[in-house]
Every structure is written in C-alpha cells, then in structure tokens.
Structure 1
Amino acid sequence: MTTGARALGRLFNVSTGAVPADAVGGAITGNRIHMKDCDTVAFLVIASAGSTDILDLDLQEHNAATGGTSQDLDIITKYYYQDEATLDGDETWTEGSQSAASEITNVGSASTQQLVVVEVGASQLSDGFEWVSLNVPDLGTNGTKYVAILNLACDLHVQRKPTNLANLNT
C-alpha cells in the first residue's frame, strides 16, 4: 500500500514563520507569507513554559516580500489557544477575544506551554499589501521562553501535489 499527501497541496501549504528561538533573549521576526495563492493564513505558534514572561504576539502586513513598507494589521479580535503545564493532546481550545488590534498580549500563563492559532483573511489586508507575518516581541529579561511559528496557507486557489507547491514567501 502506498500513501501520499491528502491535505498538503489540496487544503493547505506550510512554511516556517520562525524556528524555535528564545523570545526572552530578543524579539523574533516572523517570515513573511504572500497571500496571493490563498484566502487564509493560520499562524500556528508553539511556546515553551517560561519563568515570568507571558507570550505576546504582533501581526504585521507588508507591501513587499522584503523591505518595503510594514505596518500593524489591526484585525485580531479572536484567537484560539491551548495552555497547560505540558501540552500532551488532551487540552481543549480556549477562545481569546479583544478589540481589534495587531497585538495579542499575555496569552495563557508564563509557567505553561502554549499552542496559539491566529487567522488572517486575504480580504482583511490594506490596499497594496499582500504579505503578512506574525512576530514575537522581546518578552523581557527573566529566564527563557522558546517560541516557534508555522505559517499555514489555507483555502488554496490552485491545488497541486506537494512537490509542485509554490513558495509561500514570494
């Protein structure tokens, strides 16, 4: 029996937003994702437990793949997260809500691990802006808190086998 990708290339494409890094040691700048080939990007963030610094996130939109103009994308009103001492698959999702902003502050508890999903629709970007990124600001000076981000392009305009998928950053 052979297996092949059933969702990758049909339902979603994925790229690295940020490799695991210590957000207490400095800000983490997420890679930009071009929204020309999808309707939605879901940013999947995973964070380790830390000492006293709580996870914060910042959503940006850009008018170029590199350089260009970057600005806050003040559209986050809802996000979803799991928060537990050890993420082991038995957690339920919690809905976070706030007034429209580009920042999410204090997700969960500093001493727990977090899994966070932030979704952006292509129609939510400002005119002339086609790229988005999710960043993690410098979380402070106490201990360590490792954070990684995956960019999931969803609702693909063109479905392809995984080996023919387009680069999400150009």
Structure 2
Amino acid sequence: MAMEALGRLVDACLGAVPVDLSSAAVTGKRVKLRDAGGVTILVIKAAGTAGDDPTFTLQQHTAGSGGTSSNLAVIDHYYLKSAATLAGTEAWAKVTQAAAATIADPGGAGTSAESQQIIAIEVDAASLSDGFTHVSLNVADVGTNAQLGAILYLRRDLHVERSPEKLAASL
C-alpha cells in the first residue's frame, strides 16, 4: 500500500472557519512551523458586492498564543483562481507584487469582491525572524455586504513523518 500524503508530506488545520467577512475582521489562528518546512495558506472566498475587496495580512508570532507578533513582509507572489463562479476548470494565475505582509484586492483591478476565489500563499519556515515559530493570516473587515470566506493551512515538508492519527496538533 502506498503511503498517503497526509502525515508524510502535509498536515492540514483550520486558520478560520467559513465566516461572513463583513461581520468583523477575522483573526486567523496561529499555526506552528517549527516541525515543518513551510505552509501553504489557502483562502477560499465567495463572491460579494463591488467595493468590498478583501485585504489579507500575514503575521509571525513567538508563541501559539500571547508572545510577540509582527507583520511578516515576505509575500512577493501568490497564486489565484478567480471567476464569477468557480467551475473547477480554472488555471492558477501567478500574481507578483513587491514583498509585503499584505495582499489587497487579490487579482487587482478593484473587482476581487465580485469573484469566487481560491488564493494560495506559500510561506517558508526559514523566512520567519529569529525566535518566531508561528504564522497566521488575518482578513480585514470587507465592508457592509455579505461575503463568505475561510482559511486552511497546509503545513508541508514535515520533519517527522507519522500516520495521520498520530500527528501532533498543528496549532
């Protein structure tokens, strides 16, 4: 039997449950990178109303809760699937930007709110500052109109391979 990817290559944990991004800012849960080579952060968002374009901010932390937090300005590119209605036939588009901790209006042109999107952000564990062990992705309040979204963390390049049921908690 072939080894499965979960526990060998990746571990998954929730950064934010599906939530209405217009109800308030979303503070993403912190995921530790101490035992992984990095994390792929997936944002899944529904279409909303024009002008309610989301802004995402990547942070690094010295602990799973409390500790010191700061913005992590390493996002120089991300990958995007975007359409009025995602059908599963869309190709990934690579979006480049000057290294920053934020992605504002993913895909640009002031129209990201009107699209369903999947956004993938790669963060290498080596890019964290000394003493920082965790990352999180936050979403600013998008405005007054409903727009659903969720965040999923895929810790990758696990240092210790285990069967999924024996993986240590990622948060």
TM-score interval, smaller chain: over 0.9
Q: Which runs of 4+ in 1 moved over 2 A?
A: none
- Pairing 1:8-157 to 2, within 5 Å after superposition: 8-52=6-50, 53-108=52-107, 109-141=112-144, 143-157=145-159
The residue type equivalent to 1:159 in the other structure is E
Instruction: Mark the runs of 5 or more structure 2 residues left unpaired by the alignment.
Output: none
Kindly report the root-mean-square deviation, in angstroms, between the aligned alpha carbons of the 2 structures.
1.3
Please give the alpha-carbon distance, in whole angstroms, between the structure 1 residues aligned to 2:160 and 2:96.
32
Q: CA contact under 8 A between 1:51 and 1:144: conserved in structure 2?
A: yes
Please give the alpha-carbon distance, in whole angstroms, between the structure 2 residues aligned to 1:118 and 1:5.
26
Q: CA contact under 8 A between 1:37 and 1:158: conserved in structure 2?
A: yes
Q: CA contact under 8 A between 1:57 and 1:135: conserved in structure 2?
A: yes
Q: CA contact under 8 A between 2:44 and 2:151: conserved in structure 1?
A: yes
Q: CA contact under 8 A between 1:5 and 1:162: conserved in structure 2?
A: no
Alpha-carbon distance, 1:5 to partner: 6.6
Alpha-carbon distance, 1:125 to partner: 0.3
SS of 1:107's equivalent?
coil
Alpha-carbon distance, 1:55 to partner: 2.3
Instruction: Mark the runs of 5 or more structure 1 residues left unpaired by the alignment.
Output: none
How high is the TM-score relative to the length of structure 1?
0.94
Task: Report the counterpart of residue 167 of structure 1 in structure 2.
Answer: 169
Q: CA contact under 8 A between 2:43 and 2:120: conserved in structure 1?
A: yes
Alpha-carbon distance, 1:59 to partner: 0.1
Q: How many residues were matched structurally?
A: 166
Paired-residue identity, %: 46
Alpha-carbon distance, 1:110 to partner: 1.5
